[in-house]
Amino acid sequence: MTEARKQGEVQAPQAKQKKVLLLQPPYGDLTYPYHALAYVASAVNAAGYETDILDLNALWLNSLLTPEQIEAWDREVSTEIKSHYARPVLDIAAQDHLAELIRVQAICRDISVVTCKQVFQGDAFYDPAQYNLARRQFRMFEALLSHFYAPLDFFTAFSVPPHISTASHLATMVEKSTRLKHDLAALLRQYVKGNDYLFIGVGMPFSANIAGGFALLDTLADVFPGTPRIAGGTAVTDLVKYARGDQALAPLARYSDAIYVGEAETGMAQMIDWLQGSGDAPEHVILPAAEKPRAPHQPTYVSLGGKGEKAGRFKPFDWENHPPRLDWVDWSLYLSPERRVNYAPVRGCFWNKCTFCDYGLNSDRPTAPSRTMNAKIAVDVVRDLAKEGVTFFYISSDALPPNFLKAFAEELIEQKVKISWACQLFLTKTFTPDFVALLERSGLVQASFGLESGSARVLEMMGKGTDRVDQILRPAFEAFRGSGIALQPLFFMGFPGETDDDRQQTVDLLLEYRDIFTPISRGGMFTLLAGSILAKNAEKYGLSDLEFPDDDTFSGALNYRHNGKKNAPNCDFLQPFNDQLPAKAEFERPWVGGIDTFHTHLYVEKHGRTIFETMRASSDTIQINIDHTTRSPYDIPAVIENVLIHRVLTCPDASQALPEEMQQSAEELIGSVQRGQDQTYRLSILPYRELH
């Protein structure tokens, strides 16, 4: 048993000591390696332990993105189609399934995964037509994943982040994910079987990782029986943060021995001591099996100041002496022609006043307090990575403080470090033409920023300051207009008290500066988050009747009334405003045109910020059908028509508009089809539909 160490104390690795295994689960962006595990590994190493790190998302996707796998799926789906054709009659459920099987077969016969990889990883990447072709191949690949790995959904994972409503909902998804668990077990046996680990950490930074992450945790029990399994990452932290009731997390205990909430570096050494039997579980650790896992709404680990017993207890990890570890990255796994690292020399937010914001675990402010690394040390890390061929960086932080930006840019220039970088900004008066020129000289090519609204009145209600449009935003936009830097505005509509006139002001401002906003996306819908300043001071903001959705123990989003009026149930009212914007459905994460994506960064670097307008205006379309032939004893065009009509009749939105007798008789209206003589059908199949 080791003696519990002091927080931040560093130990050298000892001989024959167990290692720690860190895993990144599906599903995630395959254009670059996600950085979180690189930071966790650094903290584990600082605690005196070696690490093995596997990006299982990348390994798994690469194991499937092969012609052999597509052929295997084709054989599988063809066998299923044959068994349908052998039946004497097909009811509407069987017709629906058959139509889906034919779509999947058509994709298997049309897709070229070799082209997909070659284009994304080679010079053809920069040709928009070839890029669109490769993107189409990957979208079809995602459609195949959604079919073969149901109930997990891969096709909409980035545009409509999956929401887990309850722990039992998550457990059901995990239980049904047998094919994924089989694949992950095979990869673990191939790469790390036989190793003895102190614990295995599974990082889930995004909600798209949750179902795959817990499926992986379930798999670990078979491959590494008895080894502690720890779940961590922002998406898991959110589950803990918003969990309602002491037992909301209990069903997760069968998959995870503990959940580490918040920034993993901070308490890593203490957690390792605890796992070795020394001391209590640190306050960052939640035990889902415990009767009272911990009061998840009052974590104090990021409170730098404040009053009371916990004041000043938070001691940040010594990050300046422990840079992220990236030596485990196999760059050949990622679908980009260059290497990008997300680097985080700044944590938290220096502004920390937006009334709608609720990010991280702070209970006193919207998000974590700002911490800034010495810019020279940050540039040293960047320089060392650049020597290893990493020349694209995303400086990963919610809002970079201007003084850090200035010091970082000056240091890059001083040390003659040639990189291309991107980041997220919070615009202030500091963004003068000289300051923007300095950033551009240092290699900044693209930056997203929280525009939020084009109405000064709404921005003030949002806590963004007074007269922000004229005093801050317009002067900053003019400064950026004099540079080549691409700005990507993030904004939303529907803030309580916002009017149509306010929304129109947002649209007008976006259109006025469309030459520097590259590209403009559609505005999202406001969500009232439980930990936001708005929710905590509801009365002051005219809000009442705050309540969580029924049958949902993990949602942070509240329903509410504003000045007595219920919040809008959907975003239809945004349509007239979004329709005025030059957005394009294909400009989404993680592809070219998506906010903060690596591919957008590469396109701006290569073609300049006007490229998206050119691509948007181009008549190139990737929404094209596949010519597909099938020989069947069923009238396939009739089957497809039946299925389309049935889907309309049973679609929740559409069915409400239909007379009641039609809603209830969809099955009877469509009916079954009888088997007939074999015929050859030439079909035109839409492989997938772009999401708007």
Residues that bind ligand SF4 (CB under 6 A): 349, 351-354, 357, 359, 366-367, 398-399, 426, 450
Nearer to ligand SF4, 334 or 351 (CB): 351
Q: In angstroms, what CA-CA distances link 578 with 427, 520, 549, 600, 609?
A: 24, 10, 27, 21, 22
CB of 354 to ligand SF4, least distance (A): 3
State how far the Cα of 93 lies from the Cα of 178, in Å rounded to an integer.
23
Q: What is the DSSP letter of 416?
A: T
- Are 52 and 21 in contact by the 8 Å Cβ rule? The answer is yes
Nearer to ligand SF4, 236 or 357 (CB): 357
Nearer to ligand SF4, 120 or 426 (CB): 426
CB of 359 to ligand SF4, least distance (A): 6
Estimate the share of the chain in helix, then strand, then coil, as percent rounded to the nearest 5. Answer: 40, 15, 45
CB of 447 to ligand SF4, least distance (A): 14
CB of 358 to ligand SF4, least distance (A): 8
Instruction: Give Cβ neighbours of residue 204 (< 8 Å, ≥ 6 apart).
Output: 25, 210, 213, 231, 232, 233, 234, 235, 236
CB of 397 to ligand SF4, least distance (A): 9
State how far the Cα of 419 lies from the Cα of 386, in Å rounded to an integer.
7
- Report which residue type is found at 684: S
Length of the chain: 692
CB of 463 to ligand SF4, least distance (A): 7
Nearer to ligand SF4, 351 or 495 (CB): 351
Q: What is the 3-state secondary structure (H, E, C) of 8-28?
A: CCCCCCCCCCCEEEEEECCCC
Nearer to ligand SF4, 282 or 360 (CB): 360
**Assigned token pair, 548:** 């969580």
**Phi and psi (nearest 5°) for 267?**
-115, 20
Nearer to ligand SF4, 426 or 480 (CB): 426
CB of 524 to ligand SF4, least distance (A): 13
For residue 245, with 0-12 CB atoms within 10 Å meaning exposed, 13-18 middle and 19 or more buried, which class applies?
exposed
Give DSSP secondary structure letters for 525-578. E--EETTSHHHHTTGGGTEEEEEPPTT-SS--EEEEEETTEEPPSSSGGGHHHH
**Phi and psi (nearest 5°) for 279?**
85, 180
Nearer to ligand SF4, 152 or 423 (CB): 423
Give DSSP secondary structure letters for 128-145. HHHHHHHHHHHHHHHHHH
CB of 529 to ligand SF4, least distance (A): 10
CB of 207 to ligand SF4, least distance (A): 18
State how far the Cα of 538 lies from the Cα of 544, in Å rounded to an integer.
6
* Helices 636-650/92-110 angle, 10° precision: 110
CB of 583 to ligand SF4, least distance (A): 22
Nearer to ligand SF4, 349 or 602 (CB): 349
Nearer to ligand SF4, 233 or 366 (CB): 366
Nearer to ligand SF4, 57 or 367 (CB): 367
State how far the Cα of 270 lies from the Cα of 194, in Å rounded to an integer.
26
**What pairs with residue 286 in β-bridges?**
259
CB of 241 to ligand SF4, least distance (A): 15
Nearer to ligand SF4, 317 or 491 (CB): 491
